[in-house]
Chains A and B, each alone.
Chain A
Amino acid sequence: MIDGLPNVVINRTMAYLAEISRANPSCFVFLIDQSGSMQDPFGSVTGTKTKAMGVADAINRLLQNLVIKCTKSEGIRDYYHVAVVGYGGKGVKPAFGGALENKTLIPVSEIGNNPYRLEERRKKTEDSSGAVVEQTIRFPVWFEPVAYGGTPMNSALQQATSIVVKWLAEHPHCFPPIVINISDGESTDGDPFQSAYDLMTLSSTDGDVLLFNVHISSSNHQPIEYPDNEAVLPDQHAKLLFTMSSPLPDYMRKMVGNEGIDISYNTRGFVFNADLVSVIRFLDIGTRPSNMR
């Protein structure tokens, strides 16, 4: 616990069992740091991909997977509504491009039907005889890399809170909204703890809102994934992000454990010094549905 910061009250009696259905959808809010430092290379100074590019690819792939998860024979079912909010030198605003520009919380069917563009990329797969063949696949893009200015994380968390408050008023029994904040630096518009606390203590009848943090790195330091205490964290910033991250609900703890990561009852949804692999894995675990119908 950092001196002077109140401890987050965690309601462990709630179960995260609500069914996710078209009649009772849930929502995801992604907060993406678009500050100037996101222009630095991801993980290693020798890398060619900037952090902004890596995160954009990860978010686009996540949206693609989410759309496909919600796809059934007749089309896309709106099990989720999704917001992608960017924060940087241009302030805090929705980050989708094209037909979805300036829209905040969007049903997944509208996302699937309105990518900004469909890129063609090459992918190696195995054919039925087991031979490796190169295939052209379509890679939908909704979100472009941006890197400029400061890191208004505090305002971004407040924006997430207002999105989630409105959502919960309309969907009081939903599977709790999940907010994932991806950033490479410290807030430049004030201490974000209180804003994070306000967000994490919102709840539906099924449990508290889940706020997870991914701190991405320009260094080659080993990522610290899903810590369960502050002692393993190297500095005050990491400790602050830890206190701003929700403990994992049961079903997510099991998923993390299945990835071979040590878990405990206090494991939190937080990665420090994440490389691109751990960002993608974190997004996958954080958005994998528990009870979709």
Chain B
Amino acid sequence: MKVRTKTFWLPKRGNATEEYEDAAWPLDSVDCETDTFRCAVADGATEASFSRRWAQLLVKGFDDETEIAKLAEEWSSEIKGMELPWYAQEKAESGAFSTFSGLILKDGGTTGGSYSAKLLGDSCIFHMRGETLLESMPLTSYECFNNSPALLCSNLSNHADVEAMFSSKEGTWGNGDRFLLVTDAIAAWTFKRQLEHGDGFKKLLEIDSQEVLDKLCHDAREEHDEQGRPNMRNDDVTLLIVEVFS
């Protein structure tokens, strides 16, 4: 199969580029022939510190097939190696937190292939055929989003059963299908736009450059609904577009 990817992202309004706390793998564009392709996005929680690093480890580790326990150890040993003031030490002791959505595409011959997704929290994967949404995972509507998504903590002792926290989804893909891996702010905006104007997914598919994403997010953050809420939450935004051809 042939896989082409593009990743676009931007930090919260008012934040510096280095303060972006989502992560995506691959971050650079890919154009390759392969039997299996792995990609992921993760959204490091703003409330914690060093979440960006945890999110980066999770998406890269998914590609490498590294065990989560090893990723957690790596996060912890990096932080222990730093000289931190009292407040940063105490904050780091609580661990970092992140959502996760990972996708594995497998070649299935001339008619397409199969996919499997590993999901935790409110980062979403949209499976599109043309402009039609075939599958949305793990969340399926605007109402599903809230301020307390499930998060994976780098202190794994916080979780009774780490693997049980993930949900999974399997399916098939056809020639020319697209998978859009998105973090929550733009995922929620897409559903809201679809609900109110019927063109949320069409608008999402039209994003073909960083400039288009920047403008869309800038406008959506400035526009408010009748309740006075911005159409898009001021949050980090990540869009990973995967096109797959048999």
A and B interact? yes
Residues of A at the B interface (CB closer than 8 Å) are: 15, 17, 19, 21-23, 64, 67-69, 71-76, 112-113, 118, 128, 137-138, 140, 292-293
**Contact yes or no, A293 B234, CB < 8 A:** yes
A17, A72, A118, A138 interface centre (most CB from chain B within 10 Å):
A72
A67, A71, A118 interface centre (most CB from chain B within 10 Å):
A71
Q: CB of B162 within 8 A of chain A?
A: no
Main secondary structure of the interface of B (DSSP, over half): loop
Rounded to whole Å, the gap between the CB of B54 and the closest CB of chain A is 10
Main secondary structure of the interface of A (DSSP, over half): mixed
**Contact yes or no, B228 A15, CB < 8 A:** yes
12 residue pairs from A and B, CB less than 8 Å apart: A15-B227, A15-B228, A23-B14, A67-B87, A68-B87, A71-B49, A72-B49, A73-B53, A73-B88, A74-B19, A76-B87, A293-B235
**Contact yes or no, A73 B14, CB < 8 A:** no
**Contact yes or no, A17 B229, CB < 8 A:** yes
With an 8 Å Cβ cutoff, the count of chain B residues facing the other chain is: 24
Other than A64-B87, A69-B47, A71-B90, give 15 A-B pairs with Cβ distance below 8 A. A15-B228, A23-B14, A64-B90, A68-B87, A68-B90, A71-B88, A72-B19, A73-B49, A73-B50, A73-B51, A73-B52, A73-B88, A112-B87, A118-B86, A293-B14
Rounded to whole Å, the gap between the CB of B74 and the closest CB of chain A is 16
A interface footprint on B1-42 (CB within 8 Å = 1, 0 otherwise): 000000000001011001100000000000000000000000
A interface footprint on B106-120 (CB within 8 Å = 1, 0 otherwise): 000000000000000
Q: CB of B81 within 8 A of chain A?
A: no
Q: With A21-B14, A293-B12 known to touch, is A113 a contact of B85 (CB < 8 Å)?
A: yes
**Contact yes or no, A71 B12, CB < 8 A:** no
Near A by CB (< 8 A), chain B positions 107-139 give none
Rounded to whole Å, the gap between the CB of B114 and the closest CB of chain A is 38
Contacts of B235 in A (CB 8 A): 293
Contacts of B88 in A (CB 8 A): 71, 73, 75
- Cα A293 to Cα B142 with chains together (Å): 21
Rounded to whole Å, the gap between the CB of A257 and the closest CB of chain B is 15
- Cα A133 to Cα B51 with chains together (Å): 27
Contacts of A64 in B (CB 8 A): 87, 90
- Cα A72 to Cα B87 with chains together (Å): 10
**Contact yes or no, B86 A138, CB < 8 A:** yes
Contacts of B234 in A (CB 8 A): 19, 21, 293
Contacts of B227 in A (CB 8 A): 15
Contacts of A23 in B (CB 8 A): 14
Q: CB of B91 within 8 A of chain A?
A: yes
Contacts of A69 in B (CB 8 A): 47
Rounded to whole Å, the gap between the CB of A80 and the closest CB of chain B is 14
Closest to A290 in B: B147
**Contact yes or no, B86 A128, CB < 8 A:** no
- Cα A112 to Cα B89 with chains together (Å): 12
Q: Nearest 5 A-B pairs (CB), nearest first?
A: A71-B91, A23-B14, A71-B87, A73-B49, A67-B87
Near A by CB (< 8 A), chain B positions 168-224 give none
- Cα A206 to Cα B229 with chains together (Å): 12
